[in-house]
A and B are shown apart, each in its own frame.
Chain A
Amino acid sequence: MTSHAAAQPSPKNDNLADDAMMPAPFRIVKRTQELADTFTIELTPASGRGGAFAFRPGQFNMLYAFGVGEVPISISGDPANPKKLIHTIRTVGAVTQAISNMKVGDEIGVRGPFGSAWPVEQAEGSDVVIITGGIGLAPLRPAIDHVLANRNKYGRFVILYGARSPADVLFMDQLTAWRGRLDTYVDVTVDHATRDWAGNVGVVTRLIERANFDAYHAKAFICGPELMMRFTIKELSARGFADEDIYVSMERNMKCAIGHCGHCQFGGKFVCKDGPVFPYSSVNALLKVRGL
């Protein structure tokens, strides 16, 4: 086990069952359609007792659409506001489609929080460079919230985000608000656009060369499709980043979420238990294995 945030135990939450395999019933209190295929839900314990749902940035829950199935979904809310359990979900299969069809008041099962976290404490004193694409911004939003809430503990703060088109830019209002801060550098790009888009067009890796950070005193958090992460890591390495200062969030077919079933095995690791956030230095060899 490496020294990254995976070693920390998950916060204990009174609203959840003691058995990690037993989903606790939660109720949808708010639903927001973010993009054509992406939505955000806010959950509260169905017991009506209220209470907090503590988690660390980067952790995920297993969400259970009763009668359909369970999916791992990262928590996208603010860790400093644990009373709101928030998930942002892209509709990609039967379970996420079932959750997408739910309305305010409907019940959903929750197990978690599981997995490792973005090393926000370890990054204190360094520049923080966040590079993300598509839905990958959702698992990083808690880390962004944390850095912004503790801004004086960090050096330069850079957020680089890529999406397919302007219509696919997630959390546009928040990106705009973060960009408006004097202490945060935010750059957004899309793969293609029409003329009414005044922003960048091009791949997210092109944003790296324009951003100002000290690669020798920085931590990079990357989340997005693995292909995007691979290209991004290559660019960061060229800028001088050490492998151990780059963190990636991996996605695999997680089922039990506690390292028992083996569905998410990734070499000698389980993505659900040892990840999903890994230091790149611990997975770089695995990422080069074809078909793994």
Chain B
Amino acid sequence: MVKIEGIDKLLAEHPFFKDMPVDARKTLAGCAKNERIEPGDYLAQEGKPADKFYLIRSGALAVECHVPSGDNLVIETLHTGEVLGWSWMVVPFEWSFDIRAVELTRVISLDAACLRKKIIKDKLLGFELYSRFIPILAKRLHSTRQQLTDMYGKS
């Protein structure tokens, strides 16, 4: 119980959980775990089961695309206060990219199997969670479209 209360406090501090009803947050805290990733370590690899998503408490994570016979290409970095991973919500629940810690990074991981079970039982909880993911997805899509314009190229 003490452990869940500690995690709930960390969740409450993260922008993702801003204005979430306390009951919903406390329920989700049961699926959460505090983790630390050393610089250079990978916490996800393309094609592997997306069994978690992450809230970044501090540090930076790089989203990398594997390039055959070459170095990985970094296509985005995510920082303190941001959220990583929505593959756990989308069939076939596999990571689309590799994720590497650029520096010492502290995260709260949320277990996907645990979340799915709770969401199936409590639809309102699912709404709370999904309504926080949609704006993030929209923002990432918008950024990706900006990147696609190659706007710094020669005019």
Query: Across the interface, do A168 and B152 meet the contact criterion of CB distance under 8 Å?
Result: yes
Among B29-37, B75-83, B104-112, the stretch that binds chain A is: B75-83
With beta carbons under 8 angstroms apart, the residue of B64, B147, B149, B154 that contacts A92 is: B154
A194 CB-CB contact with B under 8 Å: yes
B72 CB-CB contact with A under 8 Å: yes
CB nearest neighbor in B for A134:
B152
Among A49-57, A73-81, A171-179, A196-204, the stretch that binds chain B is: A196-204
A289 CB-CB contact with B under 8 Å: no
Q: In the complex, how many angstroms separate the beta carbon of A197 from the nearest chain B beta carbon?
A: 7
Number of interface residues of A (CB under 8 A): 30
CB nearest neighbor in B for A231:
B146
Q: Is the interface of B mostly helix, strand, loop or mixed?
A: mixed
Query: Across the interface, do B62 and A201 meet the contact criterion of CB distance under 8 Å?
Result: yes
B113 CB-CB contact with A under 8 Å: no
Query: Across the interface, do B147 and A193 meet the contact criterion of CB distance under 8 Å?
Result: no
Contacts of A134 in B (CB 8 A): 151-153
Q: In the complex, how many angstroms separate the beta carbon of A161 from the nearest chain B beta carbon?
A: 10
Query: Across the interface, do A191 and B71 meet the contact criterion of CB distance under 8 Å?
Result: no
Please report which residues of chain A, range 232-262, place their CB below 8 angstroms from some CB of chain B when the two chains form the complex.
Answer: 251
A208-238 interface code vs B (CB 8 A; 1 in, 0 out): 0010000000000000110110010000000
Please report which residues of chain B, range 109-155, place their CB below 8 angstroms from some CB of chain A when the two chains form the complex.
Answer: 143, 146-147, 149-155
Query: Across the interface, do A203 and B146 meet the contact criterion of CB distance under 8 Å?
Result: yes
Query: Across the interface, do A162 and B71 meet the contact criterion of CB distance under 8 Å?
Result: no
Q: In the complex, how many angstroms separate the beta carbon of A246 from the nearest chain B beta carbon?
A: 18
Query: Across the interface, do B151 and A200 meet the contact criterion of CB distance under 8 Å?
Result: no
Interface size band for B: 20 to 34
What is the bound-complex CA distance between A194 and B66, given in angstroms?
Answer: 11
What is the bound-complex CA distance between A205 and B151, given in angstroms?
Answer: 12
Please report which residues of chain B, range 37-72, place their CB below 8 angstroms from some CB of chain A when the two chains form the complex.
Answer: 62-64, 71-72
Query: Across the interface, do B147 and A203 meet the contact criterion of CB distance under 8 Å?
Result: yes
What is the bound-complex CA distance between A223 and B106, given in angstroms?
Answer: 36
With beta carbons under 8 angstroms apart, the residue of A163, A195, A205 that contacts B74 is: A195
CB nearest neighbor in B for A193:
B74
What is the bound-complex CA distance between A228 and B79, given in angstroms?
Answer: 22
Query: Across the interface, do A206 and B152 meet the contact criterion of CB distance under 8 Å?
Result: no
What is the bound-complex CA distance between A228 and B153, given in angstroms?
Answer: 11
Q: In the complex, how many angstroms separate the beta carbon of A196 from the nearest chain B beta carbon?
A: 8
B102 CB-CB contact with A under 8 Å: yes
What is the bound-complex CA distance between A206 and B103, given in angstroms?
Answer: 19
Query: Across the interface, do A92 and B155 meet the contact criterion of CB distance under 8 Å?
Result: yes
Query: Across the interface, do B64 and A195 meet the contact criterion of CB distance under 8 Å?
Result: yes
Query: Across the interface, do B71 and A194 meet the contact criterion of CB distance under 8 Å?
Result: yes
Q: In the complex, how many angstroms separate the beta carbon of B108 from the nearest chain A beta carbon?
A: 20
Contacts of B22 in A (CB 8 A): none
A156 CB-CB contact with B under 8 Å: no
What is the bound-complex CA distance between A149 and B35, given in angstroms?
Answer: 45
What is the bound-complex CA distance between A205 and B153, given in angstroms?
Answer: 17
What is the bound-complex CA distance between A193 and B62, given in angstroms?
Answer: 10
With beta carbons under 8 angstroms apart, the residue of B72, B79, B103, B147 that contacts A191 is: B147
Query: Across the interface, do A194 and B153 meet the contact criterion of CB distance under 8 Å?
Result: no
Contacts of A193 in B (CB 8 A): 73-74
Contacts of A90 in B (CB 8 A): 154
A133 CB-CB contact with B under 8 Å: yes
CB nearest neighbor in B for A203:
B146
A183 CB-CB contact with B under 8 Å: no
What is the bound-complex CA distance between A199 and B74, given in angstroms?
Answer: 10
Contacts of A228 in B (CB 8 A): 151-152
With beta carbons under 8 angstroms apart, the residue of A194, A200, A225 that contacts B152 is: A225
What is the bound-complex CA distance between A99 and B153, given in angstroms?
Answer: 20
A18 CB-CB contact with B under 8 Å: no
With beta carbons under 8 angstroms apart, the residue of B72, B77, B152, B153 that contacts A202 is: B77
- A sample of 7 inter-chain contacts (CB < 8 A) reads A133-B151, A163-B152, A193-B73, A201-B77, A202-B143, A227-B149, A231-B146
**Beyond A200-B77, A203-B147: 10 further Cβ-contacts under 8 Å?**
A134-B152, A163-B152, A194-B74, A195-B74, A203-B143, A203-B146, A206-B143, A225-B151, A225-B155, A228-B152
Closest 8 CB pairs of A and B: A134-B152, A203-B146, A193-B74, A201-B77, A227-B151, A164-B152, A201-B74, A228-B151
